């Protein structure tokens, strides 16, 4: 969550700097390329998250399924989910 917020602040700062450069060079009417929207998980899904199911999968030796389930429940990326599950259980 904090990494995403920090990234958004950096992008905003870069956009501001690009706007200043364009203004300084006298460039106007720059059309923005539409970006693909960020996929978010509904608040109800995030609030319903519990480690119980993830713990059970890891206890059964199903680490990959636990990572997949974590991603489904939280909307996290692969690296973030892998790190979260592995930090919970030190192998």
Q: From first to last of its 91 residues, what are the pLDDT tens digits of the chain? A: 567 788 888 988 998 898 888 888 888 876 766 666 656 555 554 556 788 888 889 889 899 999 999 998 888 899 999 998 988 876 5
Q: CB-based contacts of 70: which residues, under 8 Å, 6+ apart?
A: 54, 76, 81, 84, 85
pLDDT for res 47 = 54
pLDDT for res 80 = 92
CA angle at residue 65 from 87 to 39, to 5 degrees? 80
pLDDT for res 36 = 65
| CA atoms of 39 and 77, how far apart (whole Å) | 11
CA Rg value for the chain: 20
pLDDT for res 5 = 80
């Amino acid at each position: 969550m904090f990494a995403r917020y920090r990234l958004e602040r950096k992008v905003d700062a870069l956009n501001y700097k690009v706007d200043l450069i364009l203004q300084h060079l006298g460039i106007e009417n720059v059309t923005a390329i539409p970006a693909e929207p960020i996929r978010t998980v509904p608040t109800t899904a995030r609030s319903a998250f519990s480690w119980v199911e993830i713990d059970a999968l890891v206890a059964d030796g199903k680490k990959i399924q636990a990572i997949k389930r974590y991603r489904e429940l939280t909307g996290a990326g692969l690296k973030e989910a892998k790190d979260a599950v592995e930090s919970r259980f030190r192998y």
